Amino acid sequence: MTAAYEELRDHAVVHIWRGRAPDTLTADAVELLSDDERATVRRLPGPAAARYAAAHTAVRRVLAGYLDVPPRELVLGRRPCPRCAHPRHGRPRIDWPPTDLDFNLSRTGPHWLLAAVVGRQVGVDMEDDRTLDVAGASRLVLSASELAHVMGASGTERAHAFFRCWTRKEAVVKAIGVGIITDLSEVDVRPAEDGPVLVTHQEPTGPDTWLVEDLPTVDGVFAALAREAGATGPVVHRHYEDLDSADRTREAVAP
C-alpha cells in the first residue's frame, strides 16, 4: 500500500477530493471506465456525459493512487442496500483489489467531490445554489425543528440554511447506503449548530450515529461530510488538479 493509504489507515484521516469536469466529451474520456460506466455515458446528453465520464475517471485515478494499482484494473461495485438488500443501489465499494478503503462520490453540475477513508463508512453530498422553491422543498424534507430554523431565516440566509440541512441529510443517508428511499424529514441534522454535530438515524444494518460537518462552500456549492461517530482523525482537503502527473497516468501501461 502507498503512504497515502497508510495515512488514512493509521491516523483515521478523511481525504476530501474536489474537481471540476469539462462540458465536452473527448475521445479518450472513457478509456478507464467499466462497461457499465460507458453504457451510462452513452445514455447521457452531451455535457452530462462529459461530466460523468470525467468524474468517474478521476475517482478511479484517485483510488488507484491509494492502492498502487492501474486505474483500469480497479473493479468497482455496490454493497446491498441495508434496507431492501437490493445489490444495485447500496453503498459503492471496491471489489478488487481486496481493501478496507471506503469512498463516496457526489456530483452537481460540473463539480464533483470524493471522500476516502479506511475501515469506516463515509458519505458526502454537494449541491449548487440553483434557483429553488426553498419553502416548498423545506416542507417536504425537513423535520419540524429544521423547518422552524430555515423559515425563521430570510433572504439568502434562508437558502443557505436549507442547503445546510439538505447536504447534511444526504451525506448521512449516502454513508448508510439507503439513499433517496429514506424519509429525509426523519433525519434531523441540527442546522442551528455549526458543527460537527452528532446525527442519529437507525437502519437494519450499520452504525446508528454519525458525525456530520459542513465542508467549505466553493463556487456557490454547498457540501457536507458524514462519518461514523467516534471518528476523530482530521479532514484533509485535496484538489484533483494537484495530483502528480505520474499518479494521473497510471493507466498508461495496459495488458
Q: Per-residue pLDDT for the chain (255 aa), expressed as one digit of tens each?
A: 799 999 999 999 999 999 999 999 988 899 999 999 999 999 999 999 999 999 999 999 999 999 999 999 999 999 988 877 777 778 999 999 999 999 999 999 999 999 999 999 999 999 997 778 898 999 999 999 999 999 999 989 999 999 999 999 999 999 998 866 678 999 999 999 998 999 998 887 778 999 999 999 999 999 999 999 988 899 999 999 877 544 544 444 443
pLDDT at 250: 44
Beta carbons of 206 and 122 less than 8 angstroms apart: no
Residue 78: which of 42, 105, 112, 43 has the closest Cα? 105
CA distance 34 to 16: 24
Beta carbons of 221 and 108 less than 8 angstroms apart: yes
pLDDT at 245: 47
CA distance 34 to 105: 16
For residue 11 the three cell numbers come to 491516523
CA distance 70 to 166: 36
Beta carbons of 115 and 13 less than 8 angstroms apart: no
Beta carbons of 223 and 217 less than 8 angstroms apart: yes
Cα–chain center distance at 141: 20
C-alpha radius of gyration, the chain, whole number = 18
CA distance 195 to 11: 21
Cα–chain center distance at 95: 18
123, 226, 177, 128: CA torsion to nearest 10 = -60
CA distance 237 to 216: 10
pLDDT at 244: 55
Residue 167: which of 206, 115, 202, 204 has the closest Cα? 115
pLDDT at 4: 94
Beta carbons of 187 and 171 less than 8 angstroms apart: no
pLDDT at 251: 43
CA distance 187 to 143: 7
